Amino acid sequence: MDDDERYMRMALELAKNAEGRTSPNPMVGAVIVKDGRVVGCGWHRKAGTPHAEVHALAAAGELAKGAVIYVSLEPCSHFGRTPPCCDALIKAGIKRAVIAMEDTNPKVSGRGIKRMRAAGIEVVTGILANEARKLNEVFFKWIEKKMPFVTIKSAMTLDGKTATCTGQSKWITSEQSRQYGHRLRDINDAIIVGVNTVIADNPSLTTRLGENGKNPLRVVVDSCGRIPLDSKLLNDGEAPVLLAVTVKAPKERLKALADKNVQLIETKADANGRVCLPELFMKLAQQDICSVLVEGGATLMGSIIKEKLADKAYFFIAPKLVGGEKAKSAVAGEGIGNLSDAAQLTEVFTDILDGGDILVKGYLR
């Protein structure tokens, strides 16, 4: 591994420190090197706060003059909530900038690189570009497609059941798997469930990770506004709640929900009279919701897969067999007739977690 790759990997690792905290901004890490020694490093902590380059420059101080900076994404060139980072690099006297990839955000899109080159900085791009793009797969989906990055997650038995024939589901998987699930909630902007899940389980949909945890926006897909007014979601005050409905939801019901401080989004009805999921996701993206975690139920999961809306999947499989034709499965809906039409996971990763459960994750392209 040459020096450019080595220091860029360091920048990428630094960026990961802020996973789930920078939305709607990307995760970015920066490393400043002079005479073969790291003199400054930093990462973007949170949207609206200084960017990675600014933290690295502050750490380097006067040593930044004549140094090389490694940045996992093109430095910004526009005024947002913070000043342009490329101007800060020019002012500090950076001699060479090694950048993993250009930012596809139209507000940046090569302008930062152009400005630095015009100022006499040697700029190298494309170092670990694939790794940099995967690091910010959520950001790039939101920027380029105007849609959130959608992750589906389910916990099931070895025979694919999410509950017994009597509806018992607590707990199919181990404590370790559930903690992993809470971490997934923590790094996503929103968590989505269908109203039947709320009616059956009365979940909180919060992140139980202590002081370091972040609760996502809680979204319930509820075409007719059937969510119980006494449900935990509407009364615990732990995190905002958004209800996705259609015109079928009674107006007086919507008023009662609005009195609970519930945000309402109305979409057109799909062919089955349910919430139009592509329209819902588009409207969430317009509210700077860049990533969503779908936790069920089976009908909602089936619709998302059928509509080809999912980007990634996490399946936690407990080494248990419960059987039963009436026992619920992770994915419902009409299903497919031909195996050639099955949704296929790619880049599949499997792991045996502490507690004995099997994790299978991959991409749905």
Is 76 labeled as ligand-binding?
yes
Q: Are 330 and 156 in contact (CB under 8 A)?
A: yes
Is 271 labeled as ligand-binding?
no
What angle do helix axes 111-118 and 85-92 make, rounded to 10 degrees? Answer: 20
CA gap 194, 178 in Å, rounded: 19
Is 340 labeled as ligand-binding?
no
Q: Are 71 and 100 in contact (CB under 8 A)?
A: yes
Is 60 labeled as ligand-binding?
no
For 152, 354, 355, the CA distances from 148, given in Å and listed in that order, are 12, 31, 32
Is 86 labeled as ligand-binding?
no
Nearest to 360 by CA among 170, 142, 173: 173
Is 51 labeled as ligand-binding?
yes
Tell me whether residue 266 is one of the annotated catalytic residues: no
How many CB atoms are closer than 10 A to CB 220? Answer: 26
For 52, 55, 67, 128, 286, the CA distances from 49, given in Å and listed in that order, are 10, 10, 24, 26, 22
Is 223 labeled as ligand-binding?
yes
Is 197 labeled as ligand-binding?
yes
> Which member of 53, 74, 102, 266 is catalytic?
53
CA gap 48, 245 in Å, rounded: 32
Q: Are 150 and 312 in contact (CB under 8 A)?
A: yes
Is 295 labeled as ligand-binding?
yes
Residue position matching structure tokens 């809906």: 333
Is 154 labeled as ligand-binding?
no
Sheet of 263-266, strands arranged across: 263-266, 241-245, 217-221, 190-194, 291-296, 149-157, 312-318, 358-364, 345-352
Is 242 labeled as ligand-binding?
no
Is 330 labeled as ligand-binding?
no
Is 11 labeled as ligand-binding?
no
Binding residues for substrate are 185, 205, 208, 295
Binding residues for NADP(+) are 155, 169, 171, 197, 201, 223, 297-303
Binding residues are 51, 76, 85, 155, 169, 171, 185, 197, 201, 205, 208, 223, 295, 297-303
Which residues are part of the catalytic machinery?
53
Binding residues for Zn(2+) are 51, 76, 85
